Structure 1
């Protein structure tokens, strides 16, 4: 039986390679049909911000990769309500369907997975 894995992405899409690396891990795991979840936490919720203009920062836009997650069987997407609120992001305006969780639900989510990787 495959072990489940939760990837926690905590970095903004423009702060370095961590956001892209988290997506690469999730997409690779999805290709092998591993039970995966992806949690956007802290500045990682900025990856969900609509209308990003990554080219202005000479970065590659991650939006297409995020939109491809369901095609790879990655349907377990989560975001921390507190992180969204603290960064002024409206959970109803996110371009990707995610389950928005409060602090208690986050703890339960993390405990549900066999392995947790934080980037």
Structure 2
């Protein structure tokens, strides 16, 4: 039976291990023909920021991993408008196409899914 998964990503890029684990879960679910969608909130919008560079002692950038999502048929990535604005970003700053949603839409989006995982 197919389930709808929503991964809500709030962590900043510095939490690279947590983000990688979340993306692994998302891609695994998608590989088993589950519907997988991502919602980027708060500092999670920085995960998609173009041009990230690794610092010698820091985690590797995770933005390239998001580009691989299309290989798993994960095409619905939503970004909260208020999170983008609050961090002075636009969709042009992001590595993949996203759909921008208002904060008021988030409750409805989460209600549409069988499983919601906050990362």
- Cα distance in structure 1, aligned partners of 2:12 and 2:18: 8
Q: Mind listing any 5+ residue stretches in structure 1 that lack a counterpart?
A: none
Cα deviation, 1:18-54, whole Å, max 9, x if unaligned, reads: 2112111111111111111111111111101110012
Counterparts in 2 of 1:73 and 1:16: CA distance versus 1, 3 Å: closer
Match of 2:49 in 1: 49
Structure 1 window deviating more from structure 2 (33-42 vs 7-16): it is 7-16
- Cα distance in structure 2, aligned partners of 1:96 and 1:111: 25
Q: Mind listing any 5+ residue stretches in structure 2 that lack a counterpart?
A: none
Counterparts in 2 of 1:102 and 1:60: CA distance versus 1, 3 Å: same
- Cα distance in structure 1, aligned partners of 2:106 and 2:28: 24
How far did 1:9 drift? Answer: 0.8
TM-score normalized with structure 2 length: 0.91
Q: Aligned to 2:95, what secondary structure does the other structure show?
A: coil
- CA-atom RMSD in angstroms: 1.4
